[in-house]
């Protein structure tokens, strides 16, 4: 979410929108559509709801644009709005009762990764297979919420650790701890699953 | 000082982010040179992060963008009506 932002003058765009050129809002948000949707999807785990939440987040950003302060990046601000929208949707759904948001940071200092003697690189072409994409999606979606949020922002949306901390309003060290656990949890689950999914079979046509 | 495997595991995330202090980094690297287990854990974690970050894992629903901008247009219509 960051590279595109760097070459655009978002401050000027925002000023223009606030001065009445509302159409520019369309251009302002274009680079962040995917990131906002993915954030919502990773939290709600339902495509239709994620789309609604993403739309709500963009609408809220539009309505509250005058409150945006340039001391943070527009993308960071947008993500924090998305997080809040998704969380309030989750509360309404009452799924939160199944998952505590307050897992103590010091709980389980060590996560034991999957122990392998050797690892044969799984190439990106393996992602042509629906089965492999599904294995990855499930593993991410089934991370506990506090780890999933940080993981999605840092490793999927490629925000910096500092930006994640800002968007989530938690400390940098908390981001690092959660990120570490999320990554090891994924390694623990995915290394054996991906290994047993086997090497990509050669196919002339891949419809899946 | 020699690091045990389980201590190396604690540093995997920072190692991948290039965020280890030089002294710790040196210890971890020394361990990795002779430990197949930790090397495999590191390689698999790195590989998994590359795969999960790929745009093909999560895809935007068809016409997501079209619906979003239509909704924004509707909102802007309302806003300009309201604000004059």
pLDDT given at position A74 = 94
Six-digit token pair at B53?
Answer: 């970050």
CATH class of A126-208: mainly alpha
Report CA-CA distances (Å) from B51 to A52, A156, B13, B65. 27, 10, 16, 25
**A47-63 helix and A74-93 helix, angle to the nearest 10 degrees:** 130
Q: Is A155 on the interface with B (CB under 8 A)?
A: yes
Output the pLDDT for position A10. Answer: 92
Interface check for A18 against chain B (CB to CB < 8 A): the answer is no
- Give the pLDDT score at A104: 53
Residues of A whose CB is below 8 A from B21: none
Q: What is the pLDDT of residue A72?
A: 85
CA A188 from chain centre, in angstroms, equals 20
**Does the fold of domain A126-208 match that of domain A1-123?**
no
CB A150 within 8 A of CB A175: yes
Alpha-carbon span A53 to A39, nearest angstrom: 10
Q: Please choose, from the candidates A39, A41, A81, the residue with its C-alpha nearest in 3D space to the C-alpha of residue A57.
A: A81
Q: Supply B23's token pair.
A: 């002294």
Radius of gyration of the CA atoms of chain A, in A? 19
* Separation between Cα atoms, residue A136 and residue A35, nearest integer Å: 17
Residue A174 burial class via C-beta count within 10 angstroms: exposed 0-12, middle 13-18, buried 19 and up = middle
CATH number of A1-123: 1.10.1740.10
Taking residues A180-203, report their average pLDDT: 83
pLDDT digit string (tens) for A125-168? 999 999 999 999 999 999 998 999 999 999 999 999 999 999 99
The token duo for A116 is 């392998």
Nearest by CB: A155 against B52, B65, B72:
B52
Residue B84 pLDDT class (50, 70, 90 cuts): very low
ipTM of the complex: 0.88
Quick one: which of A61, A56, A49 has its CA closest to A85?
A: A56
Question: Is A136 within 8 Å of A190 (Cβ atoms)?
Answer: yes
Amino acid B1: pLDDT: 67
For residues B18-42, give the mean pLDDT. 95
What percent of chain A stands above pLDDT 70? 84
Per DSSP, A172 falls in state: H
Task: Label residue A35 by pLDDT band (50, 70, 90).
Answer: very high
- What residues in A contact B48, CB-CB < 8 Å? 183, 186-187, 190-191, 194
Distances (CA, A) of A16 to A66, A96, A190, B2, B69: 11, 40, 47, 59, 18
| Candidate from A25, A109, A127 with C-beta closest to B56 | A127
Return d(Cα B69, Cα B79) in angstroms, integer: 15
- Tokens 């963009």 map to which residue? A58
Q: Delimit the domains of chain A by residue range.
A: 1-123, 126-208
Q: Give the model's pLDDT for residue B3.
A: 83
CB A124 within 8 A of CB B52: no
Q: Is the dihedral of CA A167, A170, A172, A177 positive or negative?
A: negative
Instruction: Please write down the long-range contacts of A8-14, taking CB distance under 8 Å and 24 or more positions apart.
Output: A10/A73, A10/A74, A11/A70, A14/A65, A14/A68, A14/A70, A14/A74
Q: How far is CA A125 from CA A35, A97, A119, B49, in A?
A: 23, 39, 17, 15
Q: What is the DSSP letter of A155?
A: I
Is the CB of B43 less than 8 angstroms away from the CB of A119?
yes
Of B19, B64, B72, the CB nearest to A25: B72
Q: pLDDT for A44-57, tens place per residue?
A: 999 999 999 999 99
pTM recorded for the entire structure: 0.85
């Amino acid at each position: 979410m960051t590279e595109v932002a760097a070459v655009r003058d978002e401050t000027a765009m925002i000023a223009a929108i606030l001065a009445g050129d509302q159409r520019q809002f369309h251009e302002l948000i274009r680079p962040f559509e995917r990131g906002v949707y993915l954030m919502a999807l990773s939290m709600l785990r339902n495509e239709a709801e994620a789309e609604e939440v993403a739309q709500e987040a963009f609408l809220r950003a539009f309505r509250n644009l005058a409150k945006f302060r340039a001391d943070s990046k527009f993308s960071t601000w947008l993500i924090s709005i998305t997080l809040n929208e998704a969380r309030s949707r989750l509360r309404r759904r009452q799924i939160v009762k199944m998952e505590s948001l307050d897992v103590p940071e010091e709980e389980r200092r060590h996560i034991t990764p999957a122990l392998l003697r050797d690892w044969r690189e799984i190439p990106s072409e393996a992602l042509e297979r629906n089965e492999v994409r599904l294995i990855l999606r499930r593993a991410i979606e089934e991370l506990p919420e506090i780890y999933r949020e940080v993981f999605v922002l840092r490793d999927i949306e490629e925000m910096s650790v500092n930006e994640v901390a800002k968007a989530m309003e938690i400390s940098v060290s908390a981001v690092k701890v959660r990120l570490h656990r999320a990554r090891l949890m994924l390694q623990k689950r995915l290394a054996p699953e991906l290994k047993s999914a086997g090497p990509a079979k050669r196919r002339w046509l891949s419809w899946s | 000082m020699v690091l045990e495997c389980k201590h190396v595991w604690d540093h995997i995330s920072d190692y991948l982010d290039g965020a280890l202090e030089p002294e710790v980094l040196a210890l971890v690297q020394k361990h990795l040179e002779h430990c197949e287990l930790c090397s495999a854990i590191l390689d698999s974690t790195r590989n998994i992060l590359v795969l999960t970050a790929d745009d093909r894992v999560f895809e935007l629903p068809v016409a997501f963008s079209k619906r979003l901008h239509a909704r924004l247009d509707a909102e802007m219509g309302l806003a300009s009506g309201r604000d004059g």
